Amino acid sequence: MNIRNARASLGLKLGGLSVLLLAFMAVVVAVAALSLSKVADNGHQMYTSSVRPLNALSDARGTFNFSRALVFKHILDRDPAVKQTMQTTIDDNIKAIKASLGEVRAGLSTPAGRQAYDRLDAAFGAPGRGAAARRGAGVPHHPFDPRRRAQRHRPPDVADPP
């Protein structure tokens, strides 16, 4: 065996080892890219199915609380123009709450969640179970309608509002 064959053999070994190392690194990079893609997809899916509906639910809750405060002011205020403005704001808030709850529906995945949504949907008079029956009975169609609240809390000697 001469030295030239030994060197060629060593060079061949080093070249082969570097090719194997590069191939291994390429496999690791490919697996990492697939994993990162999967993480990004899972993050996007979580955002669309959890974060956005929870944000919409939070918006609906805040709007509901604001409307509830307006109802109390509506009951206590005596100026008809102010009452009409409050009533318009409450009606606009009801529309905003219904829109927010519509976004929530997309994120529901369990039967219990869908049942809770259906109860909210029925309470706000959106098209669904029981809403048409309540409207037909002459009862105001959303739970914090000032006319409905006034009917419950009116002393017997106060006349009906116009």
Tens-place pLDDT, residues 93-121: 988 988 888 888 777 878 888 888 888 77
Answering whether pTM is above 0.75, one says no
- How high does pLDDT run on average in the chain? 77
3-state helix/strand/coil string of the chain: CCHHHHHHHHHHHHHHHHHHHHHHHHHHHHHHHHHHHHHHHHHHHHHHHHHHHHHHHHHHHHHHHHHHHHHHHHHHCCCHHHHHHHHHHHHHHHHHHHHHHHHHHHCCCCHHHHHHHHHHHHHCCCCCCCHHHHHHCCCCCCCCCHHHHHHHHCCCCCCCCC
